[in-house]
Amino acid sequence: MIDNNLSTRPFYNERRVQLGLTIIALLAVFATALNVSRVLYYSRSDTALKAQASREEAQAVEYRRAAAELRASVDARQLDATSTEARQANALIDRRVFSWTELFNHFEATLPPEVRLTSVSPRVNEDGRFMITVTVLARSIDDVAEFLENLEGAGVFQRPLTRQERINDAGQLEAVIEAEYQVASGARL
């Protein structure tokens, strides 16, 4: 058998090469068309976003100007007077919302047998927290300490402290206790 090609013009299978080159050319054309369409889409989108940003910036400038005009038109004395009246109204509402029954129910649950309440005074401090001042009579300092522990354990009294202690004419310990009172969720303070 002879392995040599004796034809004057040898035959090469060029169809596969041409088919491969045609496919590569078509893919290149497709990728180029896709890239051109994306560039056009993003340039239009960029133009629209720039126009929107400039409109919104102009609107922001207008809002700042209007806010400056409004601030200039507000009378500081009238604003202070209105604020004072609102605080007074809120204080009246707070007093109306306060539940003495709920407070005394808490005291009843925490009061040891040897301690008696002689006065209770609620108030709202400058921070807006509700403070309770209680004066109690007890036989010993241990009874007052037990009452303080019970108050703290009740969960509605925060940081109960003895502000003043003295022995009265009857030989009983009179103590003034102050604590922050967490009013029930329905009340607004």
Q: What is the CATH number of the domain that holds 170?
A: 3.30.1360.100
In a shared domain, residues 112 and 175: yes
pLDDT value at residue 182 = 84
Give the model confidence (pLDDT) of 113-150 as tens digits.
999 999 999 887 887 788 899 999 999 899 999 999 99
Q: What pLDDT shows up at residue 11?
A: 63
pTM of the predicted model over 0.85: no
Give which of 183, 189, 143 is closest to 162, Cα–Cα: 143
The runs of H, that is alpha helices, within the chain are 15-73, 76-97, 100-110, 141-154
Asked whether residue 148 is domain-assigned, the answer is: yes
Assess if residue 188 is contained within a domain: no
**Which residue type sits at 120?**
V
pLDDT (mean) for 175-182: 91
Do 55 and 18 belong to one domain?
yes
Domain range for 29: 13-73
177 and 126 together in one domain: yes
At which of 39, 58, 73 does a domain end?
73
Summarised one tens digit per residue, pLDDT across range 58-103 is 999 999 999 988 888 877 788 888 888 888 887 777 666 677 888 8
The pair of structure tokens assigned to 86 is 């609102």
The reply to whether 80 falls in a domain is: no
Residue at 121 is within a domain: yes
Tell me, yes or no, whether 114 and 166 share the same domain. yes
For residues 186 and 189, give the distance between their C-alpha atoms in angstroms, rounded to a whole number.
10
The tally of CA atoms less than 13 A away on the side-chain side of residue 182 is 11
Check whether residue 54 and residue 124 sit in a common domain: no
- 3 pLDDT more than 90: no
87, part of any domain: no
- Residue 122 in any domain: the answer is yes
Number of domains in the chain: 2
